[in-house]
Chains A and B, each alone.
Chain A
Amino acid sequence: MKPIKILGTGMTKFGEHWNKSLVDLAEEAGMKAVKDSNLKLKDLEAIFVGNMLSASVTGQEHLGALVAERLGSKIPAVRIEGACASGAMAVHQACLAIASGHYQKVLVIGVEKMTDLSTAEVNRALMGASAEAEEGVNGFTFASLYALMARVYMEKYGLKEKDLAQVAVKNHAHASLNPLAQFPFKVSLKQVLESPLVADPLKVLDCSGITDGAAAVVLSSRPWTVDNKQISVSIIGNSLISDTLSLSARGEITEQEATRKAVQEALRMAGIKLKEVDLAEVHDCFTIAEIISLESLGFFKKGEAGKATARGETSLNGRLPVNTSGGLKACGHPVGATGVKQIVELALQLRGQAGKRQVKNARIGLAQNIGGSGSTAVIHILERENHV
Chain B
Amino acid sequence: MRIWRENGYHFFGSYCSKCQKTYFPKREYCLQCGENGLEKIKIHNPGKLISFSVVRNAPAGFEGQAPYVVGIVELAPKIRVSAQIINVDLKKLKIGQKLISVFRRISVADEESVISYGLKFQPAFQRKKGSK
Contact = CB atoms under 8 A, between A and B. Distances in A.
Interface of A: 118-121, 123-124, 127, 131, 133-141, 143-144, 147-149, 151-152, 155, 196-202, 246-249, 251, 253
Interface string B109-125: 00000001010100000
Given A120-B63, A139-B62, A141-B59, A248 B53 contact: no
Residue in A118, A127, A140 whose Cβ sees the most chain B Cβ within 10 Å: A140
A199 B53 contact: yes
Given A148-B51, A151-B52, A137 B116 contact: yes
Nearest to A140: B70
Given A135-B82, A139-B107, A148 B62 contact: no
Contacts of B54: 144, 197, 199-200
Contact of B118 (A138, A141, A147, A200): A138
B57 A119 contact: yes
Given A120-B58, A123-B59, A155-B95, A138 B51 contact: no
Interface in B24-70: 25, 50-63, 65, 68, 70
A143 B78 CA distance: 24
Contacts of B82: 131, 134-135, 138, 140, 246-248
Given A120-B58, A137-B116, A151 B70 contact: no
B22 interface: no
B83 interface: yes
Nearest to A148: B51
Contacts of A200: 53-54, 56
Interface residues of B toward A: which range?
35 or more
B81 interface: yes
Given A148-B52, A151-B95, A248-B82, A138 B70 contact: yes
A294 B106 CA distance: 36
B66 to A, nearest CB: 9
Interface of B: 4, 7-8, 25, 50-63, 65, 68, 70-72, 78, 80-84, 95, 106-107, 116, 118, 120
Contacts of A202: 53
B8 A137 contact: yes
Contacts of A133: 4, 7-8
A124 B61 contact: yes
A144 B53 contact: yes
Contacts of A253: 50-51, 72
Report which residue of A139, A148, A197, A249 has the largest number of chain B beta carbons within 10 angstroms of its beta carbon: A139
Nearest to B107: A139
B61 A151 contact: no
23 contacts: A121-B60, A123-B60, A131-B82, A134-B25, A136-B59, A139-B84, A140-B70, A143-B55, A144-B55, A148-B52, A148-B70, A148-B71, A151-B53, A152-B50, A155-B95, A199-B53, A200-B54, A246-B82, A247-B82, A248-B50, A248-B72, A249-B80, A253-B51
Contacts of A123: 57-60
B61 A199 contact: no
Nearest to A249: B80
Contacts of B7: 133
Nearest to A135: B82
A124 B66 CA distance: 14
A-B pairs, top 8 by smallest CB distance, nearest first, are A147-B53, A124-B59, A124-B60, A248-B80, A123-B59, A148-B51, A139-B62, A120-B60
A136 B84 CA distance: 11
A152 B95 contact: yes
A150 to B, nearest CB: 8
